[in-house]
């Protein structure tokens, strides 16, 4: 680091706990909210990996994090974001998902 500057850790926007139906397995889910992101082509592999690594370091592994990292976009930008992620996936781990808020709700927040 030059000039005495402190490098800031990047992190995902949100993490929440999830558990299976009998509460025997508890994990943390990492979420990045990209509602104001107008150009998904600006998704950057290093930024994505940095956010996941920074959040994972902050949370440690107790409880463990779900190894599917979610990036939430506005519905009207969803297909562009999915396309961009698939183009950079060969360079990053395939445990990254792009979805909109409705898909998140459907996949994670199920009625009791």
Instruction: Transcribe 39-51 into DSSP letters.
Output: -GGG--HHHHHHH
Give the tens place of pLDDT for each residue, 3-62.
Answer: 555 457 789 999 988 888 788 889 999 999 999 888 877 788 888 889 999 998 888 888
pTM exceeds 0.85 for this model:
no
| Cα distance between residue 17 and residue 89, in whole Å | 26
Q: How far apart are CA 43 and CA 28, in angstroms?
A: 24
């Amino acid at each position: 680091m030059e000039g005495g500057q402190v490098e800031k850790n990047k992190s995902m926007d949100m993490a929440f706990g999830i558990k299976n139906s009998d509460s025997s397995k508890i994990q943390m889910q990492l979420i990045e909210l990209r509602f104001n992101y107008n150009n998904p082509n600006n998704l950057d592999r290093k930024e994505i990996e940095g956010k996941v690594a920074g959040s994972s370091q902050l949370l440690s592994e107790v409880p463990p994090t779900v190894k599917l990292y979610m990036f939430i976009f506005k519905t009207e930008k969803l297909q562009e974001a999915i396309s961009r992620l698939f183009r950079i996936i060969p360079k990053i781990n395939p445990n990254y998902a792009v979805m909109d808020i409705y898909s998140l709700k459907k996949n994670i927040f199920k009625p009791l």
